[in-house]
Amino acid sequence: MTNNRKTPAPLQVAMVLWLSFLLAIAPTGIVFSLFDPNAVSACLTVPEVSPLAAYSIGFFAFWLLCAGTGLLCVYFLSGGE
């Protein structure tokens, strides 16, 4: 196993961001093939957004989640340093 303490922090962040970017594509595809953002916004009392905005925000939300998980893992594996 790689010792993360040997990897400079910016490179660790870049790795997590890139991997989470790739991974976020999968849940975005699955969720939006099941749910039409127009239909969801019609059911909920949320302001209407363009489909492209909904897909983009959805993708960024998944990216943020994946990246957050990855960064926390790196942080805890490094012993909180």
Partner 1 sequence: MSASVEASLFEKRQKVYPREVHGRFALLRVSAVLGLLGLYYALPWVAWSGRQAVLLDLPARKFYLFGLTLWPQDFPLLTLLLISAALSLFFFTALAGRLWCGYACPQTVWTEVFLWIERHLEGSRTRQMRLDQGPLNVRKFRIKATKHTVWLLFSLWTGFTFVAYFTPARELAAKTLALQLGPWESFWLLFYSFATYGNAGWMREQVCKYMCPYARFQSAMFDADTLVISYDKKRGEPRGARRPEVNPAQQGLGDCINCTLCVQVCPTGIDIRDGLQYECIGCSACIDVCNDVMDKMNYAKGLIRYTTPNALEGKATRVLRPRIIIYGTILLGLLAILLFALANRTPLALDVIRDRNQLYRETREGLIENVYTLKVMNMDDKTRSYILDVTGIDGITVHTDQDPIRATGGEVLSVPVRVRAAEFNLTARSSAIEFILTTADEELSVTETARFLGPTP
User: Under a CB-based contact definition with an 8 Å cutoff, are residues 20 and 70 in contact?
Assistant: yes
Among 41, 44, 45, 56, binds partner 1 (CB under 8 A): 56
Residues 2-7: contacts with CB within 8 Å, 24+ apart? 4/74, 4/77, 4/78, 5/78, 5/79, 5/81
Please give the structure tokens belonging to residue 32. Answer: 């939006």
Rule CB under 8 A: say whether 3 interacts with partner 1. yes
Print the binding letters for residues 26-55 with partner 1: x by CB under 8 A, - otherwise: ---xx-xxx-x-------------xxxx-x
Residues contributing to the site for partner 1 (CB under 8 A): 2-3, 6-8, 11, 14-15, 18-19, 22, 29-30, 32-34, 36, 50-53, 55-56
